[in-house]
Chains A and B, each alone.
Chain A
Amino acid sequence: MLGPTGTLLERYLDLLAARQRVTASNIANADTPGYRAREIDFRAEMQSLLYQAVPGAPYLPITVRQSWAEGAKNDGNNVHLDREMKALSENVLRFSVASLLLQRQIRGLRNAIQEGRGG
């Protein structure tokens, strides 16, 4: 009902939620020996998202890959807390903007319905 933009925003929010889960895992395991950080290739996922923006398009699962970043500790753990915190705050900002846009879309639709009712 919200058209391609609405679908795109919805999937975008999904992607951000997935990244949030990955970041939460990484932060929780920041001190676990041998844990390898996980990450989402944001650019690649965004591109595949644009192809999925047609309403009713199949939902492609988001791929999570292992990070090959150099670890700062010698226990095999390669979580960089500063990088994760940056992802965290970036995620919140992106999510706020996207949900605000979606909110506007829904409001526009609601206005259209109300105008139709009034006339």
Chain B
Amino acid sequence: MSLFSAWEVSATGLAAQRMRVELLVQNLANSETTRTPEGGAYRRRDAIFHSEPLPASFRTLLEGRLGEPLVGVTVAEITVDESDPERRYLPGHPDADGEGYVGFPRVNPVEDMVDLTAAVRSYQANLSAMSAVKELLQRSMDLLR
């Protein structure tokens, strides 16, 4: 295993965090959406992370050295919130039901903003790990000079 595999691990981290950010932004944008193609109010979506071993390279298999676990992260699934929409009394609204209530998505913008900040921080941490690996590779290349 070379240093490049560490790079790949960080890349999986970046991809997973980006996915999380995309879903959070989607939730925030749709926090007041009452109409969706599926019908009814928007339902929030969340990414579920799962750690997954990187496929072993040919060389590690050849050397029989599999003792060192190297795990990346993937988005295992995207959960769709199935809870009932929040009912607000808005009789004049075109989406209001017979009693004058409109279903609104159960999205708490404050919660999502906090989560968004955490996701961005995690993304930055993965980027730092990547640039550290780059630094190590450059130092290795200096040996050739």
Contacts and interface: CB of A to CB of B under 8 A. Distances in A.
Nearest to A28: B13
Interface stretch (B27-35, B89-97, B99-107, B125-133): B125-133
Contacts of B5: 21
Interface residues of B, number: 42
A5 B128 CA distance: 31
A29 B67 contact: no
Contacts of A84: 125
Range for the number of chain A residues in contact with chain B: 35 or more
B10 A27 contact: yes
A91 interface: yes
A17 B121 CA distance: 24
B69 interface: yes
A24 B143 CA distance: 24
B59 interface: no
Interface in A60-97: 61-64, 81, 84-85, 88-89, 91-92, 95-96
Contacts, number: 118
A89 B129 CA distance: 9
B115 to A, nearest CB: 10
A16 interface: yes
B129 to A, nearest CB: 5
Interface stretch (B36-44, B77-85, B134-142): B134-142
12 contacts: A17-B3, A24-B129, A30-B13, A31-B16, A31-B73, A32-B73, A33-B49, A81-B121, A85-B128, A91-B136, A92-B132, A96-B139
Interface of B: 1-3, 5-7, 9-10, 12-13, 16-17, 20, 48-51, 65, 67-73, 118-119, 121-122, 125-126, 128-129, 132-133, 135-136, 139-140, 142-143, 145
Interface of A: 13, 16-18, 20-25, 27-33, 35, 38, 61-64, 81, 84-85, 88-89, 91-92, 95-96, 99-100, 102-103, 106
